[in-house]
């Protein structure tokens, strides 16, 4: 891709709406975000059918990275977490995996903040599962475990993997290593990705928090 394409701070392009084929104006706005560097916001709303498209493209990519931290001390909950739109978070002991989707948002928080986000998802999931005793019990079990972790009564491991290298756990205790090309290939990015080696456009669309033993949608 021509790097000159991203030199302007803002511009517009025109395409045909994928739904109704009416001309659709795409607006591109460049910005700089702490910890993530240069990004490009892309937005478009079709005036005819109201189709909406939004995306955040991180313009800089680094080596694909994996960070891992075992939460053994109360102060470990204060470790800073930088999760980009291409970062995948895992808690192996709970069977939880949070993959990026097309509406993923980048954020900077601490590990306790990540656990609170997971807790909020589980609270919502438990409301949906009121008629399924097994899923309700599993959601409540996970919430109880996370509560114990926040209270310093239980040890778990937090892992962040990012094929674009824009996510991290900032702690002296965190173990960091580069991902192999094969490991990075298996990860979702949650955004539009132009792979120059494959010469094709790929779109990752998953955004899941899955308890252990449950399969992803579409898999058998």
Tokens representing 103 are 């509406």
**How does pLDDT run across 82-120, given as a tens digit for each residue?**
888 889 999 999 888 888 876 667 788 999 999 999 999
Return the closest-CA partner of residue 54 out of 84, 24, 77, 92: 24
Q: Do 150 and 121 touch, CB atoms closer than 8 A? A: no
In the predicted structure, residue 214 carries a pLDDT above the cut 60: no
The structural domains of the chain, ordered by start, are 3-58 (2.20.25), 65-203 (2.60.120.1040)
Residue 208: its pLDDT value, please?
Answer: 39
59-63, 132-136, 160-164, 207-211: range with lowest mean pLDDT: 207-211
Residue 103: its pLDDT value, please?
Answer: 61
Q: Do 33 and 39 touch, CB atoms closer than 8 A? A: yes
Predicted TM-score (pTM) of this structure: 0.67
Q: Do 8 and 30 touch, CB atoms closer than 8 A? A: yes
Instruction: Band the pLDDT of 199: cuts 50, 70, 90.
Output: very low
Residue 180: its pLDDT value, please?
Answer: 94
Backbone φ and ψ of 123, nearest 5°: -60, -45
């Amino acid at each position: 891709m021509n790097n000159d394409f991203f030199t302007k701070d803002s511009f517009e392009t025109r395409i045909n709406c994928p739904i109704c084929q009416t001309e659709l104006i795409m607006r591109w706005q460049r910005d700089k975000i702490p910890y993530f560097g240069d990004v490009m916001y892309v937005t478009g709303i079709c005036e005819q059918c109201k189709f909406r498209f939004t995306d955040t493209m991180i313009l800089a990519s680094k080596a694909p990275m994996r960070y891992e931290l075992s939460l053994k001390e109360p102060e470990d909950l204060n470790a800073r977490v930088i999760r980009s739109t291409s970062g995948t978070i895992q808690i192996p002991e709970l069977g939880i995996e949070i993959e990026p989707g097309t509406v993923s948002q980048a954020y900077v928080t601490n590990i306790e903040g990540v656990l609170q986000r997971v807790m909020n998802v589980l609270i919502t999931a438990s409301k949906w599962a009121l008629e399924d005793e097994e899923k309700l019990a599993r959601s409540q079990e996970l919430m109880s475990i996370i509560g114990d972790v926040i209270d310093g009564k239980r040890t778990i491991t937090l892992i962040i993997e990012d094929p674009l290298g824009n996510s991290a756990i900032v702690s002296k205790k965190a173990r960091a290593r580069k991902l192999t090309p094969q490991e990075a290939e298996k990860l979702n990015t949650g955004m539009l990705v132009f792979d120059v080696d494959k010469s094709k456009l790929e779109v990752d669309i998953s955004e899941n928090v899955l308890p252990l033993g449950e399969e992803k949608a579409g898999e058998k």
